[in-house]
Amino acid sequence: MNPEQGIVLDYALKGGDFDTAGEASSKIKRILQQIGVRSDVIRRIAISSYEAEMNVIIHAYSGVLKASIYPDRTELVVEDEGPGIADIDLAMQEGYSTAPDHIREMGFGAGMGLPNMARCSDEFSINSVAGEGTKIKILIRHS
Amino acid sequence: MSEYFHSVRLTPERCKGCVNCIKRCPTEAIRIRGGKARITEARCIDCGECIRRCVNRAKTAVTDSLGDLKNYEYNVALPAPSLYSQFSADVPANVVLCGLMQLGFDEVFEVALGAEIVSDATVEYLKRPEAKKPAISSACPAVVRLVQVKFPELIDNLIPLEAPVEVAARLVRGIRCRELGIAPEAIGVWFITPCPAKMTAVKQPLGAEKSSVTGAIGISQIYGDLLKAVAAVPRDANCQRATARGVGWALSGGETAAATAANSLVVDEIHNVSEVLEQVALGKIKVDFIEALACSGGCIGGPLMVENRFVAEHRMQQRLARMRAEDEAHGAAPAKYHSDSSLTEYDRTIEPRPIMRLDEDIFRAMYKVEQMEKTLKKLPGLDCGSCGSPNCKALAEDIVQGEAVETDCIFKLRERVRDLAQEMVGLAAKLPPSLEEREES
């Protein structure tokens, strides 16, 4: 393995597909455990990737979750085709959600997704175009 | 990995090398090698799932026996609350306890009393501002071990209180040492246990430096003798002290009820527990208290029980209903030991025992992950277990760790044989130039 190349994992996500929801993040988590990343760091990565994965499933039509794992850090990139976020500052506020009622009834869409991701990551960036889609980049250092 | 004591053992003569146990082990701790099941000790959490699954009765739990009582001056039996579920609700609890006395014990002290004390301590713990939520009960030793090996990030969520059996043992040992004036070593304190995890907890304590329990005797092991003894006990005998609150711990949900934990979640059966803990690790479960038990239905479903788990549950429900009525009539006597917090405090911290990492060196571990993913793609994905590993993923892991080879997979082996056979046919058709008939040129 070339350390600068890292391990790259790609997962295709489909909007509304709750049957497989969470599978991508649990695979990422398992691999991080096998590599031996510290458990509190794994927890932050797992929460971020799970929230990102769920966001695509709840809000978007389709998307890709890409995890690049290096010895010293993990980078997550989630890119979706979907409605996009009209007001990012508003979406970053805890408790703000645009999830419809039937999603909230399932216990999702509490408006904690983006704030959780931001809190768990060392670097966080989000780009969104209304009507087109959203791209989130997360970096979490292993030490 | 002999640093861990495990109670779950294999009787090799009985093991046929089938795949029942390897497929159900929640930590993938078992492999079939040389036609026999082999437990990787570092991964085993003593949940007893393999004992339950083994159709050939090759998996057993090592427990102590009544014969060991003779090494002590004074012997105390600590019956688990679940013991009562092995008897009809018409047999009063005190008759069961007096029956136990006849097996050679000088005294019977109910673990349910320890459970009452732990319930009170839990109520207090949940009020503490520093208590990490959700607080996970540490009463079930198999669950604590599951957290150690699979969810090290949740260790701080475990409630740092001793299990009821340990509390009961500390209490009775202390009292008898003072009253009888004999050395602590001369007192044998024996847990009458529904499960191997408790046995392991005695031999290798999770929290306390040294367990106050001398040994553990499986309920199934003494059941026959106890049945006979119970039949001979007069019905007016009395050595029972615990109330329904403590005895209720035998059932899933009993601990939560006793600790009056309002915002709580109850989960039983080890695979279910694993799934719930996965969700807790993701921060998805917003509750104050989690009661997690390795056995289906709680301790009444323990692998060392005799009765069917549903029958046992029914009997226990009936018994508890009667006990609650009696407790109310007599004004349930509050246990009088509660003020002493040293009874329930953990003496040391619980260490993580992660089992997943492939290599101490992160670069080598990453290389192994890559190799493993490649290998996994080549395997058939049938998870048949014939290779001796529980599934294709585990085989891929065993291969990168040098503990297995690709042709351990019978489908890969068959592929190789077929390729070789084709090559042989091809070779057989070939002739050396000296024999080969060539067209005249």
What is the structure's pLDDT at B1? Answer: 34
B108-122, pLDDT tens digit by residue?
Answer: 999 999 999 999 999
B59-102, pLDDT tens digit by residue?
Answer: 888 888 999 999 999 999 999 999 999 999 999 888 999 999 99
What is the structure's pLDDT at B329? Answer: 81
How many angstroms separate the CA atoms of B389 and B430, rounded?
A: 41
Q: Which residue of A has its CA nearest to B360?
A: A36
B144-187, pLDDT tens digit by residue?
Answer: 999 999 999 999 999 999 999 999 999 999 899 889 888 888 99
CA–CA min distance A71, chain B (Å): 6
Residue B335 has pLDDT above 60, yes or no: no
- Asked if the Cβ–Cβ distance from B357 to A33 is below 8 Å, we say yes
- Asked if the Cβ–Cβ distance from A33 to B352 is below 8 Å, we say no
End-to-end CA distance of chain B: 74
Residue A4 has pLDDT above 80, yes or no: no
**Segment holding A103, helix H or strand E:** helix A101-105
Query: Angle at CA A86, nearest 5°, toward A75 and A10?
Result: 25
What is the structure's pLDDT at B239? Answer: 76
The minimal CB distance from A46 to the residues B281, B354, B357 is found for: B281
Residue B272 has pLDDT above 90, yes or no: yes
Alpha-carbon distances, residue A48 vs A25, A29, B417 (angstroms): 9, 11, 47
Q: What is the mean pLDDT of chain B?
A: 89
A39-49, pLDDT tens digit by residue?
Answer: 899 999 999 99
What is the structure's pLDDT at B349? Answer: 75
What is the structure's pLDDT at A143? Answer: 86
Q: For residue B278, what pLDDT band results from cuts at 50, 70 and 90?
A: very high
For residue A44, give the 3-state DSSP assignment: helix
- Asked if the Cβ–Cβ distance from A47 to B283 is below 8 Å, we say yes
- Asked if the Cβ–Cβ distance from A34 to B363 is below 8 Å, we say no
Residue B301 has pLDDT above 90, yes or no: yes
Partners of A9 in the β-ladder: A67
Closest CA to B28 of B150, B187, B118: B150
| Percentage, residues of chain B above pLDDT 70 | 94
A33–chain B Cβ distance below 8 A for any pair: yes
Between A and B, how many CB-CB pairs are < 8 A?
60
- Asked if the Cβ–Cβ distance from B358 to A30 is below 8 Å, we say no
The minimal CB distance from A71 to the residues B152, B282, B362 is found for: B362
What is the structure's pLDDT at B118? Answer: 93
Residue B334 has pLDDT above 60, yes or no: no
What is the structure's pLDDT at B3? Answer: 54
What is the structure's pLDDT at B364? Answer: 92
CA–CA min distance A138, chain B (Å): 17
A 10 A CB-CB count for B342 gives 9
CA–CA min distance B379, chain A (Å): 18
How many angstroms separate the CA atoms of B224 and B172, rounded?
A: 27
A 10 A CB-CB count for B107 gives 18
Q: Which residue of B has its CA nearest to A69?
A: B366
Q: For residue A101, what pLDDT band results from cuts at 50, 70 and 90?
A: confident
- Can you give the pTM of this predicted structure? 0.89
- Which residues on chain B are in Cβ contact (under 8 Å) with A30? 356
What is the structure's pLDDT at B206? Answer: 64
What is the structure's pLDDT at B71? Answer: 94
What is the structure's pLDDT at A2? Answer: 58
- Asked if the Cβ–Cβ distance from A71 to B366 is below 8 Å, we say yes
Q: Pick the most confident of A54-58, A85-89, B390-394.
A: B390-394
For the segment B241-247, the average pLDDT, to the nearest whole number, is 89
Separate counts of helices (H) and strands (E) for chain A: 5, 5
The minimal CB distance from A3 to the residues B282, B363, B368 is found for: B363
Mutation target for A interface from B27, B353, B369: give the one with most A CBs within 10 A. Answer: B369
For the segment B208-220, the average pLDDT, to the nearest whole number, is 85
Q: Are A55 and A104 in contact (CB under 8 A)?
A: no
For residue B244, give the 3-state DSSP assignment: helix
Q: For residue B2, what pLDDT band results from cuts at 50, 70 and 90?
A: very low
Respond yes or no on whether ipTM tops 0.85: no
- Which residues on chain A are in Cβ contact (under 8 Å) with B354? 33, 36, 39
- Which residues on chain A are in Cβ contact (under 8 Å) with B282? 22, 25, 46-47, 50
- Asked if the Cβ–Cβ distance from A34 to B281 is below 8 Å, we say no
Q: For residue A126, what pLDDT band results from cuts at 50, 70 and 90?
A: very high
Q: For residue B348, what pLDDT band results from cuts at 50, 70 and 90?
A: low
What is the structure's pLDDT at B20? Answer: 93
Mutation target for A interface from B151, B153, B353: give the one with most A CBs within 10 A. Answer: B153
CA–CA min distance A32, chain B (Å): 8
- Which residues on chain A are in Cβ contact (under 8 Å) with B358? 34-36
Taking an 8 Å Cβ-Cβ cutoff, which residues of chain B contact chain A? 152-153, 278, 281-284, 352, 354, 356-360, 362-363, 365-370, 372, 397
For the segment B115-131, the average pLDDT, to the nearest whole number, is 92
A 10 A CB-CB count for B323 gives 23
- Asked if the Cβ–Cβ distance from A39 to B152 is below 8 Å, we say yes
Residue B230 has pLDDT above 80, yes or no: yes
Contacts 24+ apart (CB under 8 A), A81-88: A81/A132, A81/A133, A82/A15, A82/A56, A82/A133, A82/A134, A83/A59, A83/A130, A83/A131, A84/A128, A84/A129, A84/A130, A84/A131, A84/A132, A84/A133, A84/A134, A85/A126, A85/A128, A85/A130, A85/A134, A86/A130, A88/A126, A88/A128
